[in-house]
Structure 1
Amino acid sequence: MKMDRQLKNDVLAELRWEPSINAEQIGVEVQDGVVTLAGHVDSFVEKWAAEEAAKKVSGVRALAVEIDVKLPSLSQRTDADIARSADSALEWTTYLLKDSIKIQVEGGWVTLGGDVEWEYQRRAALDAVRNLMGVKGITNNIAIKSTVSAKDVKSDIIEALNRRAIIDSHKINVEVQGANVTLSGTVDSWAERDLARHSAWGTAGVQNVQNNIIVAH
């Protein structure tokens, strides 16, 4: 198990290693394996990159993000401009049906709504908008329609976990109520925790995943 000081140094090193992040603008605090990122960055995509970088570090049990996005003057845009760009990005970079995603922008914060069939479509919409200039944050309220009976969801998830050798599926408990999935148990790394969540989301019919898996070292 890493000491908090070593974990802090590792997170700082990972932030410095990622070229899309100005690590000098981000502070790192660690207590009992819980990492807090704070500071100011110039874009939402840089904030997102910092979160992803911290998650890659072995020993991170939980992550709190207190980073503010402060756009440079040249990156500031009106909400109407951002909304038009988001609409175009969804049309050009995804296979989603036109008008299936609703876009609302207020103060540079983008809220996505609407319905899709799969989680990967929900992620695609987020990815299409995340890199747009002027975006300060994103709330993804896109809902997933249930397309299959929920009775097969648990077995599908367990089979997916068993296929992926880096995860010991016996450490993970899967509970299904309707189209809602709750994961619990322990894994050895944040990457394994994310893989379990992705496996659940990759199962047809899942509308919500509550990931209560603990990273234990």
Structure 2
Amino acid sequence: MKTDAELQQDILDELRWEQSINATRLGVEVKDGVVTLTGHVDKFTDKWNAEEVVQRVSGIKALAIEIEVSLPGTSQRTDGDIASAAQNILDWNTYLPKDRVHVMVEDGWITLTGTVDWEYQKLALKNSLSPLLGVTGVSDQISISPTVSSVTVKDDIESALRRRARFNEHSISVHVDHADVTLSGSVDSWSERELANHAAWGTPGVHSVINNIKVAL
């Protein structure tokens, strides 16, 4: 099991290794395996990238992101401009159901509401809006409309997990209540935990996922 100092060093090394991130503007605090990432970045996508990079490191029990987005003067826009740009993306993207997703912007922060049919639609929308000039954050409050039975959802998730070589049939259990999924069990790294989470979310008809999987240290 890694000490807090070893885990902190591994995270710092991973951040420095990632060319898309300016690691000198970020700080890492670790206590009892719980990691807090601090610092300042110029755009929301940098914050998002830093979070994904840190999750690749094994031994993390929990992760808190306290990075602030400090926009340079040339990147600042009015909320109206950001809302218009976001709406244009909604209008032009054919993967989204028309008139079912709504955008609100306050102080550069985009809040998305409404319903879609698939998790990939939520992810694609967030990926499209996050790089917009002036955006300081994106809150996804979009729900997924259930379209299949609980039994089908459970079978599909378990099949997806079996197809991934990192998991055996006993490492993760899946419980489905209507369209709400709960994952439990144990894996070897935070990235494996997230991989299982993505497998659940990628299943048609899933409305929510509670990830209770523990990372074995």
TM-score range, shorter chain: over 0.9
Change (3 A) 1:113 1:120: same
The unaligned stretches of length 5 or more in structure 1 are none
1:93 CA drift (Å): 4.9
* Mapped partners of 2:32, 2:178: distance in 1: 36
State how many pairs are aligned.
217
* Mapped partners of 1:145, 1:61: distance in 2: 32
2:207 corresponds to: 207
One-letter amino acid of the structure 2 residue matched with residue 56 of structure 1: R
Q: What secondary structure does 2:170 align onto?
A: helix
1:14 corresponds to: 14
1:106 corresponds to: 106
Change (3 A) 1:94 1:187: farther
1:65 corresponds to: 65
- Answering whether residue 179 of structure 2 is matched by residue 170 of structure 1, we say no
* Mapped partners of 2:169, 2:109: distance in 1: 38
- Answering whether residue 160 of structure 2 is matched by residue 142 of structure 1, we say no
1:203 CA drift (Å): 1.6
Q: Is the 8 A contact 1:153 1:206 kept in 2?
A: yes
One-letter amino acid of the structure 1 residue matched with residue 213 of structure 2: I
2:32 corresponds to: 32
1:204 CA drift (Å): 1.6
One-letter amino acid of the structure 2 residue matched with residue 216 of structure 1: A
* Mapped partners of 2:193, 2:49: distance in 1: 18
Give the ranges of 4+ consecutive aligned residues of structure 1 lying more than 6 Å apart after TM superposition.
none
1:87 corresponds to: 87
* Mapped partners of 2:156, 2:190: distance in 1: 22
Q: TM-score, normalised by structure 1?
A: 0.95
The unaligned stretches of length 5 or more in structure 2 are none
* Mapped partners of 2:181, 2:110: distance in 1: 27
1:74 corresponds to: 74
Q: What secondary structure does 1:95 align onto?
A: coil
* Mapped partners of 1:169, 1:122: distance in 2: 29
| Identity across the alignment (%) | 57
One-letter amino acid of the structure 1 residue matched with residue 3 of structure 2: M
1:49 CA drift (Å): 0.8
Q: What secondary structure does 1:48 align onto?
A: helix
Q: Is the 8 A contact 1:37 1:64 kept in 2?
A: yes
Change (3 A) 1:94 1:213: farther
Q: Is the 8 A contact 1:176 1:182 kept in 2?
A: yes
